[in-house]
Amino acid sequence: MPLLKASLPSIPGIVAARVDSAAFPQAGQGRFRRGLLAHCSNPACRSGWLHLWRSPTVPVFEDGWTCSAECTAARVGSAVAREFGGMESARPDHRHRIPLGLLMLEHGWITQSQLRRAVDAQKRAGAGRLGSWLVRQGAATESVITRALALQWSCPVLSTELHDPARVSTVIPRLFVDAFGALPLRVSAGRTLYLGFEESLDPALALSIERMTGLRVVSGIVQESCFRPAHGRLIETKFPPVELIESVSETAATRTLARCVERFRPAAARLVRVHECLWLRMWDAADPRPLHGPGKMEDVICLVGAF
């Protein structure tokens, strides 16, 4: 998987900035009830009620309205602490996977001599995937390699036949598509997102997408010759605007993310952790949707020191 920071300068449409210094809420859980006498969602709020100069409907962060910038910062700070403190336990358990060559050998798809030649060629070249060497040497077809990868990860083989880049470009930021090699393929019945990968799955990314969008994510392997053109087309598609921020501490991240919420004044906003970064998504519509819906959305991606 390419390094996230190394991918940043090459991604178009990103505004970069630098700052110096449990239970996880799921999308759609709870609903903020707007009214003239809106009550602040910050448990430590000292006023609690609508300020005369404050809108009674925005900003809303994770299903709760806040009465002041200070209360927004407190709510965002709680979410940042939650993401740092609890995500390790929420990640799927690591499972040992049989090496691809041994798996194919076990199923009779290649011989021991074919595997040895491919491994030797890979070592001499110092690069390249084993599956690519097996295909190059004529020991296996690309479809067999794809099938073996899916078996290795206990996942389906996904097709790009119904892929519509413009339709799925709002599911995740372009930065994640590029940095993590993810390919949102389609959303079925408005409930299930099919997420493709070329060689290995990313369960942590899939979990974060589920928490942000409320969609069930089905991850699978896409054949290389189909994955790369589809991935390239998606990268070229228009995505929602994104702001990239680098913070040296959780405190700095909280302060900056809270300012983003105050500036955008969203009708809905959520925060989740994705690997070494925090992903804040804000909508100006009270009923956020993972695909194109009413209103606009904006993403903020915050890299916080060294996790």
Of the chain, the percentage scoring pLDDT greater than 70 comes to: 80
Residue 95 clears pLDDT 70, i.e. is over it: no
Does the domain at residues 157-235 carry the CATH identifier 3.30.300.160?
A: yes
CA-derived radius of gyration, the chain: 22
Residue 39's pLDDT band (cuts 50, 70, 90): confident
Averaged over 150-165, what is the pLDDT?
Answer: 95
Give the model confidence (pLDDT) of 248-293 as tens digits. 999 999 999 999 999 999 999 999 999 989 999 999 987 777 666 5
| 299 against 49, higher pLDDT | 299
pLDDT over 80 (residue 80): yes
Q: Is the pLDDT of residue 215 over 70?
A: yes
| CB contact burial 255-282 (16+ within 10 A = b; e otherwise) | bbbbbbbbebebbbbbbbbbbebbbbbb
Domain boundaries, the chain: 4-90+239-304, 100-153, 157-235
Closest listed residue to residue 199, CA positions, set 98, 131, 137: 131
Give the CA distances from residue 108 to residues 70, 104, 142, 152, 283, in Å, rounded to whole numbers and listed in that order.
64, 6, 16, 15, 52
Residue 123: CB atoms within 10 Å: 9
Residue 51 pLDDT exceeds 80: no
Length of the chain: 307
pLDDT of residue 26: 56
90 against 177, higher pLDDT: 177
Work out the average pLDDT over 180-189.
95
Position 53 scores a pLDDT of 74
What tens digit of pLDDT does each residue of 194-210 get?
A: 999 999 999 999 999 99
Which range has the worst mean pLDDT, 14-28, 163-177, 236-250, 269-283? Answer: 14-28
Q: Does residue 162 register a pLDDT over 60? A: yes
